[in-house]
Structure 1
Amino acid sequence: MSDFTNATEAASLAVTFDQTGQTDKAVECYRTAARLLDRVCDNMSPERQAEIRKKVKEYLERATFLQEQKDRAQQEESERILQKCYFLMQQALDADEANLQDLALQLYTQAVEIAVNFKVTDGDVKARINGLAAQALDRAEEIKGIKKMGSLSITEPKQPTISPNRAQLQREQSVHLKVSGKQVYTEEEKEVLRMTSNINNNCFLPFMDVDLSEKFQYALPFEDRASTLKLSSKQEKEFDGWIRPHEVSSDPKLIVGDHVDCFSIKQTIVSDCSFVASLAVSALYEKRFNKKIITSIIYPKNKNKQPVYNPFGKYMVKLHLNGVRRKVIIDDRLPYSKYGRLLCSYSSNKNEFWVSMLEKAYMKVMGGYDFPGSNSGARLLKLKNPWSHLRWRGRYSELDTAHWSAALRAELRYDPDSAAQYDNGVFWIDFPSILNFFDVFYLNWNPELFKFTYCIHQKWDAGNGPVKDAYNISENPQFTLHVQGKGAVWLLLTRHITQIEDFQDNKEYITLLVYKNGRRVYYPYDPPPYIDGIRINSPHYLCKIIVGDSSCDRYTLVVSQYEKTRTIFYTLRAYATCPFSMAKIEAYPYTKNIKGEWSGRTAGGCENHRQTYPNNPKYIVTVPDTRTACHLVAELKGPKQYQIGVDARVEALDDPNLTAPFLKESSGPYRSGFVVLELNNLPSGRYILTPSTFYPGQEGPFFLELRSTCEITCESRN
């Protein structure tokens, strides 16, 4: 077989190996084909020689390119192995320092295993890996208390033992906020938090101390199999695949430098402007005031409590969801475009990935990158367009020469001429212009303003109370607030959301009503509320109470919902500048339900009609002899087209030496469909209850519910 024929066959094999990714064989065949063609080239015509030498050059260049590409890949893999060893060593040292020696031993062991089992060709990298392995092995031997370690095997690292008390789910508090009330949640609250942990078909459990020992190292790169994030339609048009940071960066880091930078944030085609804007505000606040708003919620961390890049591809983010901080686990795979760009928000520093990771954590909570969008929010405001371009062109923009005086430029440290050179989406705008373009905007608040906080997590069953609370709010969730001083109390009602559909099309309208007294309220406008909240379909409702010298110090807080159709879970949280206490107003524990009717003769009407009133239905309530006086509430419900009421009289007391607490008590003015009669401090004896309509002859059913602090009996007298 001639050299030319062999060269042709070698070239054909080279192309096949090249296409199938068999780099070594492709390089060998390309070079063989080039060598054989060069050998036969001298025996050909000048025109043919030029063509053959062009092919020889092409084959050699392709072989060189493939070899260099392979060498670069091996170098990058060596660097990644070194990164993994460094990461494991840092985690091991942190565990060692915290006296978690079982965990430290496992991490040291894994570092040695990686160094031994992976082949590294680069001499400098190999020397550094061997140095780390020796250090890890020495410390592992010290921990085990032996001279030599005969053999090592990879095992799953054991999590440190957490005492039951430490693992208890406790109310959250920060350095400056003091929790008012019980530290540990009630069983009812725990059930509420458990029920709303399932969000968009993923489970996000409340964050506890035990989560600080989360495992971040694996034999293979971590992949979050629990959640595949759905892409938006715009992403799908460009989508090429999922990539990890090391595939687009030669030196990936979570944070570049000593702080997060708000001006590096760039939004792409995900419609989460409000989230990205919040990131920018939080990053700027963290840098300016050194409050770790962002860096405190990302894991893993180094010994300086700074989030670090994880070469194993796993991160944990602590987000405030449905009433508490919750644990969100993600991998580091990011959507990538066929045009060579990330299809998510990112940092303008190509080696920095904290922006993309935080956004991915939030998108996991929201069900995917197909985020439905949201609305987000001085007479002069500095704004940033999350898209990092396209600025305001009106008053107080960099183009406005009429309003930017020298004094104002100096005060705001702003140079319109310099700003005009680069459009980063940051601009100044006056408040009247804001009102022309925005219906709603939100402001971040300074948590340092408050010293005290407390929260309660509750459930409101759909079957409790009427669909509308226009007449009756007795069964609405109610809470008592006692303010012990002067100052401000902010109340935040948050409805828990577990499905993206609910977020997209929120049909639940909630609010908070505030009354002055601290006792249970039965009628929405008797007495009128101190704060009559507006029912809105936002998951959050916020109101404030200012307590001064002449102010009331006890309040009743009532959760209200417009046209209640389903069970809701919610959190009521208070922030205050002075001490306070807040607790749920529990219903009396004993209940009697009576169904009756006004019909014919028994539809006697009110006491104005003396001849027919005695014909109304009557019920004998017997109060037993107890150590403490009995409290009783009678709620009468009837047709809304009737004005109804209920009266109480003392028939007899068990102790003849006692004076009757009253001769007659009534529910007051007759009301449409619903009235309440409160009877307090009842001594043992028998009492007669008479429900009635205002006019005689008004027939229809009624329901009489008796709630009491002791077990009573009730029987009909008619």
Structure 2
Amino acid sequence: ISTMSVAYKDQLYAELKKQHNQNGTLFEDPEFPATNSSVYYTKTPPEGLQWKRPGEICENPRLFVEGISSHDLNQGTQGNCWMVAACASLALRRDLWENVIPDWKEQEWDSNYAGIFHFRFWIFGQWTDVVIDDWLPTDKHGRLINCHSKQNNEFWSALLEKAYAKLFGCYESLVGGNTGDAVVDFSGAVAEAIDLQKEKYNEQDKLFGNLLKVWEHNGIISSSINTQEFELESRMDNGLVRGHAYSVTDVKRVSLGHGLQTHFKNETIPLIRLRNPWGKAEWTGAWSDSSEEWSKVGDAERSNLGITVADNGEFWMSFTDWCKNFTDVDICHLMNTSLISIRKNWNEKVHFGKWTRNSDPLLNRCGGCTNHMETFLQNPQYLFDVTKESDKVLISLQQKDRRIYRKEGQGENLSIGFTILKVEVNRKYRLHKYVTQQEMNEFNHTNSRTVFNRIELPQGRYVVIPTTFKPFIEGEFMLRLYTDVDSGCRSNQICALESRDIVIKSSLRSAWSKTSSINPYVIISCEGQSVRSTTKKNSLTPVFEFSAIFYRKKVAEPLTVQLWTDDLGSDKFLGEVLLYGRPDDVSHTQHLQLKNKGSKKADNMPGKIILMIETSNELTAF
């Protein structure tokens, strides 16, 4: 991900700092003033609310004290545990926090201090540099009311929170959110939400293996316990807090036993370590700080795990207990797109689009989900190819964040999702008919900022259609698609060629031949254009599920479907059928006898092809 950034509100940090250094003044941010409206938009400010610069709060203020740690952060009075949990995860990754907190050594308090700081966030696909002054809201006793460090004179977390609040209008706009969204804003990662209740993760070993792999590949994980609104942030008997975001700070298989016993027995237990953004209130069950389970672990292993008996908000628990208690997991994948890497690299395609309304069906681009089939295909469409025999495809659809509109009472996310359809291998134009297409994914729309799906797809051409749940809802989105091999993903804007008379679509179901031991494939040709299917290995009755579409001018010429076999590198003709599709023909499945070609075209060949032909003089029929 490129780290080139744009200046938020056109405020350039270096220029502003230089100007105030020259004038001997401290920066005051006109875009985010030290007023009540920058803290609250519905709540009444607490009595005695006052703004102070760090130098008025303590002696010797610092950006960092003894480096940066996930233990630095403690949540304030605002209900923004989701953002604080993301900050704790950020603190574990130097490569990430050094990007979010740029030039941190230069920003540290020194003789050039000018009351100005800046932070970078990945906002809707673009790194954005946000400048702030260092006025911070405090209570009547001069204590920070929002995020703060355990060290009284450390301010990186409070200043980072202020910059993030500025992006969304005020501190109160940060109340309630998704940790995955904040991690994406801090890193450009791809967010995946897992509902442990709906996903039916009965295979805990498989889930743990997946999370361990994510962790080992530097992914970021958080989890929470879903609850009713009246129970939000209430503490359970086991010490966990309902409706509260916890950052995952380690995932491990821990060896049980001591010394040689451990070496030979090789018994392990899956454990997960979490941190409460409050900096206190920990899990009290098995594998908590002082539980008897730790007696099963050798001294060296305990030392490696950093076990301490302290109410610092960080604790271990068994993966089984984690699955029983937590309901929602956010996984943020840091996708490696570098070609020079020992890790798996992904091919990335990114598209920015809009759902826009138009009274002309051919121009309307907000058609709603498949519940609204009359308008569904009017949505934006993106073609992509799977060129391998099969490929794992990761798709992320992110809508533009609406949190900034909360002050105006319009901050709710749209309900979004996407549908993947398999289409003809040579399709170039927009899809207009849904009936005969093959839907590849089942997707429930959600009002999350981001929706994600991973799917294994066979070779072929596909269209992904981002949608809102209801039609005629406008909005902006970013579509990211990741494959092992370049997918050629592109926006599909054009409807059809006007210089053609009819469109014909051939959908090949299967074929069979009496020839022994063949590796069959099919070639469909029309007016000088040809497409070829994949080769089916060692099959006398191959199932192709292969379709092609042609826009025709020479209606009298036939469409040719030929069956061939790849015989040790020497292609052998097995037969063909000629088809004359006319607009008034009734579409139906046909079982056609293979024929010879050329001068022997009247001769039957041993085999048949099963297919369907659809023809129309309306070019947008399919």
User: TM-score, normalized by length of structure 2?
Assistant: 0.57
1:389 Cα shift? Answer: 0.6
Q: Aligned residue for 2:196? A: none
Deviation readout 1:426-472 (Å, 9 max, x if unpaired): 01123343344433121233434534323111111144254453324
1:397 Cα shift? Answer: 1.1
Q: Aligned residue for 2:394? A: 490
Q: Is the alpha carbon distance of 1:255 and 1:403 closer, same or farther for their aligned partners in structure 2, counting shifts above 3 Å? A: closer
Q: Aligned residue for 1:115? A: none
Q: Aligned residue for 2:2? A: 173
Please give the alpha-carbon distance, in whole angstroms, between the structure 2 residues aligned to 1:583 and 1:352. Answer: 47
Please give the alpha-carbon distance, in whole angstroms, between the structure 1 residues aligned to 2:386 and 2:92. Answer: 34
1:591 Cα shift? Answer: 8.5
SS of equivalent residue, structure 1 residue 263: helix
Specify the code of the residue in structure 2 equivalent to 1:328.
V
* Aligned 8 A contact 1:512 1:560 in 2: yes
What are structure 1's unaligned runs of at least 5 residues? 1-171, 176-192, 198-202, 593-626, 630-648, 671-676, 681-686, 690-705, 709-718
Please give the alpha-carbon distance, in whole angstroms, between the structure 2 residues aligned to 1:666 and 1:276. Answer: 65
Q: Aligned residue for 1:105? A: none
* Aligned 8 A contact 2:369 2:467 in 1: no
Specify the code of the residue in structure 2 equivalent to 1:221.
L
Q: Does the alignment pair 1:278 with 2:86?
A: yes
SS of equivalent residue, structure 1 residue 492: strand
Q: Does the alignment pair 1:308 with 2:108?
A: yes
SS of equivalent residue, structure 1 residue 356: helix
Q: Aligned residue for 1:322? A: 124
1:499 Cα shift? Answer: 4.2
Larger Rg: 1
Q: Is the alpha carbon distance of 1:572 and 1:406 closer, same or farther for their aligned partners in structure 2, counting shifts above 3 Å? A: same
Please give the alpha-carbon distance, in whole angstroms, between the structure 2 residues aligned to 1:581 and 1:239. Answer: 59
Q: Aligned residue for 1:514? A: 420
Match of 2:59 among 243, 246, 250: 250
Deviation readout 1:319-357 (Å, 9 max, x if unpaired): 111232223221111001112311121222233211111
Q: Is the alpha carbon distance of 1:569 and 1:669 closer, same or farther for their aligned partners in structure 2, counting shifts above 3 Å? A: farther
For residues 192-231 of structure 1, what are the structure 2 equivalents within 5 Å?
204=8, 214-217=15-18, 218=20, 219=23, 220-228=25-33, 230-231=38-39
* Aligned 8 A contact 1:206 1:327 in 2: no
SS of equivalent residue, structure 1 residue 480: strand
Match of 2:384 among 450, 472, 481: 481
Q: Aligned residue for 1:444? A: 332
For residues 5-44 of structure 1, what are the structure 2 equivalents within 5 Å?
none
SS of equivalent residue, structure 2 residue 352: strand
Q: Does the alignment pair 1:469 with 2:370?
A: yes
SS of equivalent residue, structure 2 residue 89: helix
SS of equivalent residue, structure 1 residue 581: coil
Please give the alpha-carbon distance, in whole angstroms, between the structure 2 residues aligned to 1:348 and 1:357. Answer: 14
* Aligned 8 A contact 1:515 1:555 in 2: yes
Question: Paired residues, what number?
Answer: 409
Q: Does the alignment pair 1:568 with 2:475?
A: yes
* Aligned 8 A contact 2:3 2:127 in 1: no
1:239 Cα shift? Answer: 4.4
Deviation readout 1:534-572 (Å, 9 max, x if unpaired): 21110101112346xxx3153221112211342110001
Q: Does the alignment pair 1:241 with 2:148?
A: no
Specify the code of the residue in structure 1 equivalent to 2:83.
F
Q: Is the alpha carbon distance of 1:357 and 1:174 closer, same or farther for their aligned partners in structure 2, counting shifts above 3 Å? A: closer
Q: Is the alpha carbon distance of 1:206 and 1:576 closer, same or farther for their aligned partners in structure 2, counting shifts above 3 Å? A: farther
Q: Aligned residue for 2:154? A: 352
Q: Aligned residue for 2:213? A: none
Specify the code of the residue in structure 2 equivalent to 1:514.
I
SS of equivalent residue, structure 1 residue 390: coil
* TM-align CA RMSD: 4.0
Q: Aligned residue for 2:516? A: none
Please give the alpha-carbon distance, in whole angstroms, between the structure 1 residues aligned to 2:397 and 2:45. Answer: 37
Q: Is the alpha carbon distance of 1:272 and 1:499 closer, same or farther for their aligned partners in structure 2, counting shifts above 3 Å? A: closer
Q: Aligned residue for 2:583? A: 665
Please give the alpha-carbon distance, in whole angstroms, between the structure 2 residues aligned to 1:574 and 1:383. Answer: 31
For residues 74-223 of structure 1, what are the structure 2 equivalents within 5 Å?
173=2, 204=8, 214-217=15-18, 218=20, 219=23, 220-223=25-28
Please give the alpha-carbon distance, in whole angstroms, between the structure 1 residues aligned to 2:290 and 2:177. Answer: 30
Q: Aligned residue for 2:282? A: 391
Q: Aligned residue for 2:272? A: 381
Point out the structure with the larger strand share: 2
Point out the structure with the larger helix share: 1
Q: Is the alpha carbon distance of 1:667 and 1:467 closer, same or farther for their aligned partners in structure 2, counting shifts above 3 Å? A: farther
Specify the code of the residue in structure 1 equivalent to 2:282.
R
Specify the code of the residue in structure 2 equivalent to 1:429.
M
Please give the alpha-carbon distance, in whole angstroms, between the structure 2 residues aligned to 1:543 and 1:665. Answer: 39
Q: Is the alpha carbon distance of 1:330 and 1:458 closer, same or farther for their aligned partners in structure 2, counting shifts above 3 Å? A: same
Deviation readout 1:42-85 (Å, 9 max, x if unpaired): xxxxxxxxxxxxxxxxxxxxxxxxxxxxxxxxxxxxxxxxxxxx
1:204 Cα shift? Answer: 3.9
Q: Aligned residue for 1:457? A: 352
Please give the alpha-carbon distance, in whole angstroms, between the structure 2 residues aligned to 1:248 and 1:262. Answer: 23
Q: Does the alignment pair 1:527 with 2:437?
A: yes
Specify the code of the residue in structure 1 equivalent to 2:32.
S
